[in-house]
Each structure stands twice: as C-alpha cells, then as structure tokens.
Amino acid sequence: NLVDQSKSLDSSIIKHDPNPDIINIIFIGSLTPRKCPFLIIELAKALRKCNIGFQITVLGVGRLKSRLEFLIKKHSFDNCIRLLGHISNPRDYINLMDLLFHPSSSEGTSRACLEALASGIPCLVRDTSANRFFIEENYNGFFFNSIKDISSNVTASARLRRENFENKSLLLPKHKEDLILDTYSKVIFTE
C-alpha cells in the first residue's frame, strides 16, 4: 500500500493545534461489520468513564450507519461523536486529529493508517499481525486487545501526537516512499 507522502507533508495543510482538554480522534472506514464501527461507542464509554475529554469524528458510510446513530443518541454522545459521511479527501480532517482509531481486525495494511502516519498522526489499532507490520508501540501508535486497556492507549497516543510538534511523518522506515520505489525498481529491472 502506497501513499503520496509529498502531499501528507505539504506545508499548506491545516496544522494541528491541540486543545489540552480534548483528545480529537478520527475513525475512517466503511460502517460495516468488517470495520467494527460499534467499538467507537465502546471507546467513547471508556473515555467518559475515565473523565477524559474527547471528540470523535467518523468518516464513512455503510449499512451500520443508522444503528450507530441510534447508539450515539442512546448513550448521549451527540456532542462528542460526529458522523460526517464519505469525504473524498479526508486529509484536512486527519491533520486536526490527535490519533486515528482503527478497530478493524480483518484487513492487511490499512491505507487510512498509512496516510495518518505520513501526516504525523499516531494510530490506535487492534493487536493483529497485519497491524504489527506498520505500528511500533511508543513510536507511532499503540495496540489494543480489549476495550478495557484502551483509555490509557488513547492518552498515550495523544501524547505522541502532541510531542510531534513538526508534524513529521511517523511511517516506519520500511514504508518510506524512496525505499519502496527502490525495491520495486530492483524487482522490475533485475534481469
């Protein structure tokens, strides 16, 4: 999975200006069972229980949207979870966030995660072998196995973001554009 890293680090992008009282979280993906969007509600419950201020932005559409809207209202999260639907270019939203929450357990390397990392946004992801390919804990994100350990990982991820004053890329070296292109060149042009 490749991302255009030159756009991610473009100086014209909206810069992160953290609010110390609110952790801004983004979820990007289809609202389908495969992406586990109901964990957004569990995340919000865990943060509320720990008295952690938060705002969750959800970018995506899918058949679970109406159920997710119902749960947001049921648990009185109207003011802290917003569903924005499909956004063609989510870069400006990503750049305002403290972390990307990616609860899916059924995919390989997430493009949304790579784009967030390229923009300096840490990721909170499920502990799977695929996610271990691009996340190194305490460097560019954290893993979770259950919702019980998630609130401390949210605050730790936000800390990573806030320490990254220059919005530098958090991609691991093996995901840097130059290395990937060099690898492809060697494969294609080797006799």
Please give the Cα distance from 184 to 25 (Å, whole number): 34
The phi and psi torsions of 102 (rounded to 5 degrees) equal -130, 90
Which residues, at least 6 apart from 28, have a Cβ–Cβ distance to it below 8 Å? 59, 60, 90, 94, 100, 102, 112, 116
CA distances from 81 to 3, 49, 51, 55, 126 (A): 27, 16, 16, 6, 20
Please give the Cα distance from 120 to 68 (Å, whole number): 28
Task: Please list the residues that pair with 101 across neighbouring strands.
Answer: 124
Decide if 43 contacts 150 (C-beta within 8 A): yes
Q: How many residues does the chain have?
A: 191
The H-or-E segment that residue 158 falls in is helix 150-163
Decide if 54 contacts 80 (C-beta within 8 A): yes
The H-or-E segment that residue 36 falls in is none
Please give the Cα distance from 152 to 162 (Å, whole number): 15
Token pair, residue 41, equals 């509600």
Q: Which amino acid is at 8?
A: S
What pLDDT was estimated at residue 11? 41
Decide if 64 contacts 38 (C-beta within 8 A): yes
Average pLDDT per 10 consecutive residues for the chain, totaling 191 residues: 48 58 95 96 95 96 98 98 94 92 85 91 94 94 88 91 84 64 52 56
What pLDDT was estimated at residue 89? 86
What pLDDT was estimated at residue 49? 94
Token pair, residue 170, equals 């958090």
